[in-house]
Structure 1
Amino acid sequence: MLIGVAVIVLLITRLKLHPFLALVLGSGVLAAVAGVPFDKLMNSFTAGLGSTVASVGVLIGLGAMLGRLLADSGGANRIADTVLSRSGPRSLPWTMALVAAVLGLPLFFEIGVVLLIPIVLLVARRGNLPLLRVGIPALAGLSVLHGLVPPHPGPLVAVDALHADLGPTLALGLLVAVPTLVIAGPLFGRVAERWVGPLELPAATAAGSGADGARGQDEAREQDGEREQDGIRGQDGVRAPSFGATLATILLPVVLMLAKALCDVVIDDDKATAQRIFDFIGSPLIALLAAVLLGMVTLGRAAGFTRARISGTIDRSLAPIAGVMFIVGAGGGFKQTLVDVGVGTVIADWANGWHISALLLGWLVAVGIRLATGSATVATVTAAGIAAPLAAGMTSTHTALLVLAVGAGSLFFSHVNDAGFWLVKEYFGMSVGQTFKSWSAMETVISVVAIVFILLLGLVF
C-alpha cells in the first residue's frame, strides 16, 4: 500500500502526471507488488471505477448543471447583491461567509472561487475594507462546504466508499461546518489580515475575470445605477431571477435530503408510506434532479432564456467536470484494488494495535495524502478506501463522522502542489509567502477545527 501510494504521489508531484493516470498506474504497481494476477487487477480496478461513477458520477453532473444555471442566469449575483445591500461594513465579513456558504452548496470549489472573486473585490472596494477581511470568509465558506457537506463530490465519494447514510452525514456535516466556518472565516480573517498586511486590489483581476465577467471600478459604478433602475442582470444583459426563487432552488436538494433524514429518525418504518415517499424524494439523485428541473424554470426561464439556450447551458456545464469524473472514478478503482489485495484488513489491525481512534486515523491518512498530492479529491477517495474496513460494525452516526473526518483531513494545508493555491494567489495578487500566511493557514485552521468538533461529537453520540 505504501509503495502504491508513493508511486501516485511521485507521479503527480514530480512528473506532473494527471491524477487519473497516476491512480491507474499506482493501482497497477500496488497489485504487482502484492502479487495479484493481471486479469484480477483489471477486474478489481474496472469494478471499482464503474461502481464509483455509477453512484457518484450522475450526482456530480447534476450539481454542475445547477451551478451553470445559477451562474448564467445571474442568480448568483442576485443573491450576493441582495444580501450585501442589507449589511453594514462591520457585518460584511459575516455576510460574505454566508453568501459563500449558500452559493457553495451546489457549486464546485473552483467554480465558486471564480464566481465569488469579482464579488469579493467589489465588496472590499464598496465597503473600504481590507481585501482579506472579506476574502478569507468567502474562501472559508466555499472550502468548508466543499470538504464537509454533501452533495459535493468529496463527501459523496466518502459516503459511498464507507457505506455511510447520507442523511446523518449531511446533518452532522452542517453541525460541524457552522462553527468551523465562524472560526476559520470572519474570526481568522482578521488574524490573516494582520499577518499578511494591507493588500492592494488587483487591477487586472478586478477588471476582467470571473464566470460572469468581472468589471472595472468605473464600469461597476455604472452597473450599480443600472441595477437600481432595471434590476440585476446576468450574462448577455438578461434580467436575473428573483432572490427568493434563486434561494429556494439552491436549497431544495438540501431540504429534501434533510427531510428524508428526519423522517428516518421519526418514523423508522420501511413499510410506512410516508417514509417510502421521503426515501425516494430525499435520495441524492432525485433531490438534485428536482433542483435542476426547478432551476430550468426559476433560473433559466425567469432570466428570459429560450428552451434552446437552457439546453445549451446544460450542455456546457458537463465539459468542465470531465476531469473530476475521471479522477473520482480512478480513485474508486484504486480503492477497490486496496480492498481486494487485503490492505484494508492490515490497516484495521494496525489501527487496533496502536489504539488510535478510527476518526483520527481517517483524518491523519487524508492529511498525509493531501500534503503529498495537493488534491483534496485524491486525498478523500484514497483515505476513504483505506479507512473502509474501520467502518465495519460502526453505528450510522460514527460512520458519518468518519466520512467527515476524512473530508476534514483532505483540506489540510493547501500549498504549491494544489491548483487552488495558485488560483487564490493570482486572483488576490499575493506573493507565495502571503498566500501561505492566508490561504494555506486558513485551510489548516478549517481542517484542525473540524476534526476537533468531529472527535467531540464522537464522544457524545
Structure 2
Amino acid sequence: MNTYLLFMTLIAIVLVVLGVSLFKWHAFISLLVASLFLAIVSGLSLEKIVVAYETGVGGVLGHLIGILALGTILGKMMADSGAGMQIAEFFMRAFGVKNLPWAMLLSGFIVGIPVFFEVGILILLPLVISVHKSSKQNILLIALPLIAGLSIVHGLVPPHPGALAAISIYKANLGKVLLYSLIIAIPASIIAGPLFAMWVHKRVIPKGEPELIRITTKAKFLPGTGVSFFVILLPVLLMILSAVAPYLSLSKGLLKFLTLIGSPLIALLISVFVAYYLLGFRKGMDRNAVKKLTESCLLPVGSIALIIGAGGGFKQILIESGVGNTIAQMAQNLSLSPLVLAFLIAGLIRIATGSATVALTTAAGIVSPVIQHMSGVNLELLVIATGAGSLMFSHVNDAGFWMVKEYLGLSVPETFKTWTVLETLLSFIAFGGALLLNTFF
C-alpha cells in the first residue's frame, strides 16, 4: 500500500509538471487536477474530497490573501513614485564607479524587500542600462549583482508570498524566519552576485544590446532618498520590532500593541498608508491616481493567490489520504533530514515546472505532513531550505529566464552561463547556510 501511495503521488506531481509545461494549463488548474487525481486513487471518500481541498485552500489563503494584496500595492507605489530608483541612485553615488557591483547588489536587496522579482527588474533596469552606457562596463558586471539581490530576497525573505506560504504551512515563527533568512541571504547574494559577476564578466561578453524598459512615474516630484528608504524598510522594521519585543521588559499592553503592528498584515497596511501619503499625495498624486494605481496592481494578485491556494489544497489531500505519513516513514527509514527532503523536493519541482512559487508551496505541502510526528525539527530553517530549493537551475520553462535574457540582450547560451548559474549558486549556498545554522539552533 505504501509503495502504491508513493507511486500515485509521483504521478500526481508529474501531472502538475505536464499540465504546466505540455498542456499549457495555469498552475492552479494543474495543481487542482493533480489534487483530485491523488484524492480519488488513494481511496479518499468522495464526500471528503472537496471538503479536504477547500480546507487546505482556506487554511493558506485566509492567512495570506491580504498580505499579498498589500505587498503588491506597496511595490507599485515604490515603482510609480520613483522611490526604487532613488535608492539605487543613492547607492551608485555612495559606492562610485569602481564598486558598481556592490552598489547594484545593495540596490537589488533593499528594493527587492517589498516587491516581486519581476517588478524589481522593471524598476531598476533603466538604471542598469544607463550605468552600463555611461561606464562602458560589461552589463553583466552591473546587472548580475542586482538580480542576485532581488532573487534571494524573493525566494527566502518575508513578506514575499512564497516564504509566507511556507511559514503558514509549516506553522513556523515569522520573526525567526526573517532573522535567519537575512543572515543566510547576505552571504549567498554576495557570492552569487558581485563575486560571480566579477568572475563571469571576463568570460562572457554579450553580443546583443539590452532593451530599455522605461517606468513612467505618476508623481510630479521624486521623493527624497530618506523617505524612499523609510517607506521600503518600514514593514521589515515593524516585523523585527515585534519579534524582539518579547525579550524586552515592556508592559503587557505595549507588548500586545507591538505584536499587533508587527504582524505582516498590519505592518504592510501601515506601510501602504504611509506610502500613499509620502510617495503619493505629497508628491502630486491625487486621490483618483492613487485609486487607479491600487486597482491596477491588484489584478496580478489573483493568479499568484490561486497558485498558493491550490498548493494548500494539495497539502490537505496529502494529509487526508495518508501520503504524508507514508513519506514520513520513508524519510525516517532512510534517516533523511527534513531539510534535505524539502530542498530536494522543491528543487525537482522547480526544475520541472519552472515556477519558484509552485515549487515552494507544493514542496511545503508534501513535507508538512512528514514533520508532524518528528521532534526537534527547526521549522524556520525548514522554510529557508524549501525556499532555497525553489531557486535552483532556472531554465527555459521559467519566465524569469526569458525576462533576464530579453531585458539584458543575452543569447540563450549566455543566459544559461549567467542567470542559470547565478540562481543555482544562490540555491545551494542558501541551503548550505540553513544546514550550518541547523547545527547551532
Name the TM-score, length of structure 2 as normaliser.
Answer: 0.95
Equivalent AA in structure 2 for residue 250 of structure 1: I
2:246 maps to 264
Tell me if 1:340 matches 2:348: no
Q: Mean alpha-carbon deviation: is it higher for 7-16 or for 59-68?
A: 7-16
**Equivalents in 2 of 1:383, 1:194: separation in Å?**
37
**Equivalents in 2 of 1:307, 1:397: separation in Å?**
49
1:279 maps to 259
Deviation at 1:162, TM superposition (A): 0.2
Change (3 A) 1:195 1:38: farther
**Equivalents in 1 of 2:85, 2:158: separation in Å?**
23
Alpha carbons 1:164, 1:396 under 8 Å: kept: no
2:234 maps to 252
Deviation at 1:201, TM superposition (A): 3.4
Q: 2:289 aligns with which of 300, 309, 316?
A: 309
Change (3 A) 1:129 1:396: farther
**Equivalents in 2 of 1:291, 1:278: separation in Å?**
15
Tell me if 1:32 matches 2:40: yes
Tell me if 1:241 matches 2:226: no
After superposition, the C-alpha distances for 1:170-228 in whole angstroms (9 at most, x for unaligned) are 010101011111111100112232342244532xx12xx24x15xxxxxxxxxxxxxxx
Equivalent AA in structure 2 for residue 13 of structure 1: S
Tell me if 1:150 matches 2:130: no
SS at match of 1:444: helix
Tell me if 1:192 matches 2:192: no
**Equivalents in 1 of 2:341, 2:73: separation in Å?**
35
**Equivalents in 2 of 1:115, 1:246: separation in Å?**
13
Q: 1:367 aligns with which of 347, 357, 361?
A: 347
Deviation at 1:358, TM superposition (A): 1.3
1:218 maps to none
1:2 maps to 10
2:109 maps to 101
**Equivalents in 2 of 1:123, 1:315: separation in Å?**
33
Alpha carbons 2:85, 2:124 under 8 Å: kept: no
Tell me if 1:122 matches 2:104: no
1:223 maps to none
1:220 maps to none
**Equivalents in 1 of 2:123, 2:374: separation in Å?**
39
SS at match of 1:196: coil
Deviation at 1:393, TM superposition (A): 6.7
Change (3 A) 1:394 1:351: closer
Q: 1:378 aligns with which of 358, 361, 366?
A: 358
**Equivalents in 1 of 2:167, 2:179: separation in Å?**
13
SS at match of 2:385: helix
Change (3 A) 1:420 1:396: farther
Tell me if 1:51 matches 2:59: yes
Q: Which runs of 5+ in 2 are unaligned?
A: 1-8
Equivalent AA in structure 2 for residue 21 of structure 1: I
Change (3 A) 1:276 1:262: same
Q: 1:404 aligns with which of 376, 384, 397?
A: 384
Equivalent AA in structure 1 for residue 315 of structure 2: K
Equivalent AA in structure 1 for residue 329 of structure 2: D
Alpha carbons 2:318, 2:369 under 8 Å: kept: no
Alpha carbons 2:57, 2:313 under 8 Å: kept: yes
Tell me if 1:429 matches 2:429: no
Alpha carbons 2:208, 2:411 under 8 Å: kept: no
Equivalent AA in structure 2 for residue 259 of structure 1: L
2:4 maps to none
Deviation at 1:125, TM superposition (A): 1.5
After superposition, the C-alpha distances for 1:75-130 in whole angstroms (9 at most, x for unaligned) are 12222222212332221110101011111011011111222222211121222211
1:183 maps to 191
After superposition, the C-alpha distances for 1:134-180 in whole angstroms (9 at most, x for unaligned) are 11001101100011100001000000000001000001010101111
Q: Mean alpha-carbon deviation: is it higher for 63-72 or for 33-42?
A: 33-42
Alpha carbons 2:371, 2:377 under 8 Å: kept: no
SS at match of 1:17: coil
Alpha carbons 1:131, 1:201 under 8 Å: kept: no
Equivalent AA in structure 1 for residue 236 of structure 2: V
SS at match of 1:157: helix
**Equivalents in 1 of 2:376, 2:103: separation in Å?**
34
Alpha carbons 1:3, 1:29 under 8 Å: kept: no
Q: 2:50 aligns with which of 6, 20, 42?
A: 42
Change (3 A) 1:195 1:360: farther
Q: 1:11 aligns with which of 11, 19, 28?
A: 19
Alpha carbons 2:360, 2:386 under 8 Å: kept: yes
Deviation at 1:243, TM superposition (A): 1.1
Alpha carbons 2:88, 2:103 under 8 Å: kept: no
**Equivalents in 1 of 2:315, 2:45: separation in Å?**
17
After superposition, the C-alpha distances for 1:37-87 in whole angstroms (9 at most, x for unaligned) are 333111111111122211111101000000111111111222222221233
Q: Mean alpha-carbon deviation: is it higher for 445-454 or for 1-10?
A: 1-10
Equivalent AA in structure 1 for residue 411 of structure 2: S
2:30 maps to 22
1:442 maps to 422
SS at match of 1:144: helix
Alpha carbons 1:168, 1:396 under 8 Å: kept: no
Deviation at 1:241, TM superposition (A): 1.2
Alpha carbons 1:195, 1:437 under 8 Å: kept: no
Q: Mean alpha-carbon deviation: is it higher for 63-72 or for 257-266?
A: 257-266
**Equivalents in 2 of 1:168, 1:121: separation in Å?**
37
2:300 maps to 320
Alpha carbons 2:206, 2:410 under 8 Å: kept: no
SS at match of 2:97: coil
Deviation at 1:12, TM superposition (A): 1.0
Q: 1:69 aligns with which of 53, 65, 77?
A: 77
**Equivalents in 2 of 1:382, 1:195: separation in Å?**
37
2:5 maps to none
SS at match of 2:439: helix
Deviation at 1:242, TM superposition (A): 1.1
**Equivalents in 2 of 1:398, 1:301: separation in Å?**
44
Tell me if 1:329 matches 2:309: yes
